[in-house]
Structure 1
């Protein structure tokens, strides 16, 4: 096969006449092109670093400031020597001509370097003023209190100032230094909001007990741990994010498959090609184009919409580790390994691993050339080496056994070289030998199977430690599995939207292949070599038990979407969250602690915060739907619950959430060696309903009005609690909402399909309260 081909740069033979040296010009040419590519990338990275470092300033602004200062200096006819030479002439016998010449020389010097230095200082001062003014402006969140569709004069003035101080043509990381730091809420406010959130879940005796624990914490230990958090918030960019990454993700010893990793699904109704290698060609090329834009910081900063024409910047820090990143297992804690550059991808097919170079002749491979490489892998009939087929199961099982096996068996020789090829790859690709498809004739079973395959596959055919796995199925459909510690789902969603939108633009030929021609001299993929002992079976056993227990159910809710919900003058997210509360009560006959993920990227290095969706107000509404209440009363309670939910969401987004604060106080208490019964009990409460909305962020990429078939299915994740549900949903266009539900077969309390039916009915029942048909008549 082609991977056996070796390009030899030079050969030499030693004879009595000397050394006969034979150079391979093609190999040397490739070395030259590779070096040229690396230097270009370094220059671009340096240039982008400078541009980002001086933003909202610019080179054009620098020239304006320096030239203006020079013109002012000349207009005022200022003496650059400050009268020095006039005084020298009084005491030293120097002719006027000499003094004139010396003055001209000094003027040339003083009008060059000093003007440049003073002009640069003035320019930097202006930049710092603009940056700090912008940071102060972005710290104000009064605009979030505006009623939807209305903008007050204070918000209009604020938007005008934000635009004025935001500079022109920002790059991805331009606003990083202008974003405010995440504020630390007061202990009193956090305890108060916590008690308010658990009140509907506790009886009077339980609540009084928790109230006493909170009061004791607020009086004694709370102020001490708060002092340390305040100190950290002044010193660090974000007082939460590093501890959140370490203690919630990297220190976890349980499998990351199902428990942490999540998935994204292909188009629902569009099947561009049935040729697996062709779909891989366009998809991988689109991903590499996105990486090139990311390396050049050419991706527009992601913003949060304030009005239809105004938005504010969000933190872009999580994009930095999207590519060339792997989670490395450790005995006690994992680490994230990020490479500045990687020129290859790792590919898995039928138990074999391959290293595929993404560049040739100093350029990125074209889609048809990538398809050519995938065809070579698919045509390879070689058998897996002993232990190779199920090697990736190590990444699916418990973390400590994987860390020990990695240290013992993969730290030297060809095992280390092959493992490096995977861990240092740009990303991981699986050419799956199964077929997955949304089948209109069998929608439930087909989508459920699709979701399970993306979430865990066979437990040994995805490298779960990579930042993300690109999965191409035998019939041409695709999906993605992402590791969670390096970033949250919206960041991966941004990449996924780009890939889905690029696929039809790159196009296919009539027979389903990528456009273009194969390359006649392209070196083939390299087969990775292993010498693997029997260390995998225990990890595979753990992973299979976990995967077999996951009950996945995905379905498109097509009865209505956000278009009708908006006509109800209700937030679509609040509408769905309250529907989930009603569905859960009907499903289990009780309420539970509910987690809804909210972003905090209005702040520097922000990640997520929790919105506790189960509130006293939402419970009151649910009970009204169970009892025989009037429609008017149910509507009133619904509006109160929706307003409460919106207020909580705003608080979470603007740094007023409670769960990250409670988490950080718990970490500090452990560092202090203090045991807090209050914090211990708070952090041990299970989230039996964990929910998340997947936002569509690049609406300009999809025209869902003209082409509703290009709707994305969104993605999902595994259940957080053994007896709970995980629910992910994506609002697609005006008329579609896709739901992804997960639970565990082993729990007698849960059934994903039953819960899905309850969600459908709850959505319809709540919409029915508004009697939109009657209003239309």
Structure 2
């Protein structure tokens, strides 16, 4: 099916430059815009650097075997980052609480076994090509990312990371691994979940295996949990991994067990005090009870609450939403039956241990302390609206996403005294191997809307008109992004081509466009926003993207609206002001639109 999807369109250089200027203009002064326009003109001139780089990209896009002009962009975008991915890049979902007819005696074991059984059923469907294609608005969506749900692990590199995964020349076809890795109190256990013939273990068997892990006494390796190393900056972790491999040959086998495992299950020995703490633990649990490089890690707390932590390099939220919806929309017993699971006795289990010297142990402790401090230096907050949802916005005649994005802008203006660059992730899975597009939210219409709301002399009719105009402009831009008509990733890939091939192409210096106020301001996020609409999700979350950015992860459903906010601790007060103003802004905009309808 994948090859039948249309290719991601490659915009012309003129189109992207024109859109870039239009997108950054609302954030710039007149002098900043003039300086940016001048450099765009130089970039676009005949024989200029933009023309040379665009020609190279067009040639690449036409190369046999290339699926998209973004084929090289995505690995750099995710695998090229050199900071830590724990908290900075991985994202989480907090699942809805299980509601069994009778509370289980062992809620943690019951929930974890159910998630394992459901995931094994999903893998069976994936391996047998039984998963129906995802279709949105009549258009089939790419399913390519499903290949990276199981047995996929990000491998740290000195310059750029790589991915170890099935469906590759090194590992053709589906994963043949039969085990998962279970974490408990910093220890790691290899637990078989498929029998020798590939048949899933029955639910009772899985429960027995998990119980054996919990009852196993002091976990092997818990005194120096190597999982802490996955919280390090990537080049540092790459060096530490090399040291692990060089120190003792046994460590290669241990890494192989972790990296080829179908997925991880992280069992916590406590129940978080509240929803906020639960979300924080899902984002950056820091007791060595994680392997943040693993594509999929289920986290199950002592009281049965559960969620997922996802490594982002090959998996976007839309793919994980489909995965989670499939897991949680059907009882575990039905998943187990449909997968062909049967009782096979207690699954084989074996501690995964690493041989460490004093230097490696010190590195584990240092990584643990540094990440604990990093988590402590991150401020977070959950915000819930149980009296507002997508249905409310629709009843008022406004797109739900446009409504909340306008509310974000108004709240940000009131919290920080200004508008700032705002990123919104837009899914583009209708294209071959499509992922996301970077939408920039602040339009001239939003600037006018916020000004109207902040001017006490503006009457309600004028404010309503400004709101509806801004909402329409938001939807127009979102549709342009979905259609591939967005400038940022295109211009960014041209910059990356210059970095990689500049000498060969005769563009030896970074074009000045990439140092303009427009380029720097447009990409300096004050708000980084993304949504995960699923009835099976309570909260969705990720870290902020810069020293003053607020990460805004939101679950907008017909009857509720939940957000998880994150920001560096030095600007925590601004995040809390934003949250307070957001509640006021939602009520204010709702009342403004409702009063219009009540008078008609």
The TM-score, its normalising length taken from structure 1, stands at 0.70
Aligned partner of 1:244 in structure 2 is 73
- Cα distance change on mapping 1:523 and 1:648 into 2, 3 Å: closer
Distance 1:520 1:302 in 2: 34
Matches within 5 A, 1:56-205: 174=1, 176-205=2-31
Work out whether residues 268 and 712 of structure 1, in 8 Å CA contact, stay in contact via their aligned partners in 2: no
Secondary structure of 2:113's match? helix
2:544 pairs, out of 694, 701, 719, with 719
Aligned partner of 1:526 in structure 2 is 350
* Aligned residue pair count: 567
Aligned partner of 2:584 in structure 1 is 761
Greater RCO (CA < 8 Å, at least 6 residues apart): 2
Aligned partner of 1:405 in structure 2 is 240
The answer as to 2:113 corresponding to 1:281 is yes
1:691 pairs, out of 526, 529, 532, with 529
- Cα distance change on mapping 1:654 and 1:459 into 2, 3 Å: farther
Work out whether residues 191 and 347 of structure 2, in 8 Å CA contact, stay in contact via their aligned partners in 1: no
1:427 pairs, out of 239, 254, 263, with 263
Work out whether residues 386 and 532 of structure 1, in 8 Å CA contact, stay in contact via their aligned partners in 2: no
Which structure has the greater CA radius of gyration?
A: 1
The answer as to 2:490 corresponding to 1:658 is no
The answer as to 2:206 corresponding to 1:370 is yes
Q: Which moved more, 1:408-417 or 1:584-593?
A: 408-417
- Cα distance change on mapping 1:736 and 1:450 into 2, 3 Å: same
2:145 pairs, out of 303, 308, 318, with 318
Aligned partner of 1:346 in structure 2 is 181
Distance 1:189 1:377 in 2: 58
Distance 1:549 1:302 in 2: 40
The answer as to 2:288 corresponding to 1:460 is yes
Aligned partner of 2:253 in structure 1 is 417
Distance 1:266 1:232 in 2: 42
Q: Deviations over 1:506-557 (max 9, x none)?
A: 599xxxxxxxx99684244111232112232332233222211111212321
Q: Deviations over 1:703-728 (max 9, x none)?
A: xxxxxxx6521411100111110101
Secondary structure of 1:554's match? strand
- Cα distance change on mapping 1:695 and 1:518 into 2, 3 Å: closer
Q: Deviations over 1:637-657 (max 9, x none)?
A: 111111111111111111101
Distance 1:218 1:773 in 2: 47
Offset of 1:463 from its aligned partner?
0.4
Aligned partner of 1:31 in structure 2 is none
1:674 pairs, out of 486, 504, 509, with 509
Secondary structure of 2:330's match? helix
Distance 1:386 1:660 in 2: 43
Distance 1:743 1:447 in 2: 18
Distance 2:177 2:121 in 1: 14
Work out whether residues 451 and 552 of structure 1, in 8 Å CA contact, stay in contact via their aligned partners in 2: no
The answer as to 2:458 corresponding to 1:633 is no
- Cα distance change on mapping 1:610 and 1:459 into 2, 3 Å: farther
Aligned partner of 1:53 in structure 2 is none
1:297 pairs, out of 115, 121, 129, with 129
Secondary structure of 1:686's match? coil
The answer as to 2:264 corresponding to 1:264 is no
Work out whether residues 181 and 233 of structure 1, in 8 Å CA contact, stay in contact via their aligned partners in 2: no
The answer as to 2:168 corresponding to 1:332 is no
- Cα distance change on mapping 1:270 and 1:581 into 2, 3 Å: farther
Offset of 1:504 from its aligned partner?
6.5
Work out whether residues 79 and 162 of structure 2, in 8 Å CA contact, stay in contact via their aligned partners in 1: yes
The answer as to 2:307 corresponding to 1:479 is yes
1:582 pairs, out of 404, 410, 428, with 410
- Cα distance change on mapping 1:361 and 1:250 into 2, 3 Å: closer
2:228 pairs, out of 368, 393, 397, with 393
Work out whether residues 398 and 542 of structure 1, in 8 Å CA contact, stay in contact via their aligned partners in 2: no
Aligned partner of 1:358 in structure 2 is 193
Work out whether residues 325 and 536 of structure 2, in 8 Å CA contact, stay in contact via their aligned partners in 1: no
Work out whether residues 409 and 415 of structure 1, in 8 Å CA contact, stay in contact via their aligned partners in 2: yes
Q: Which moved more, 1:539-548 or 1:644-653?
A: 539-548
Q: Deviations over 1:681-720 (max 9, x none)?
A: 4267411210011134xxxxxxxxxxxxx65214111001
Secondary structure of 1:242's match? coil
Q: What RMSD in Å do the two structures reach over aligned CA positions? A: 2.3
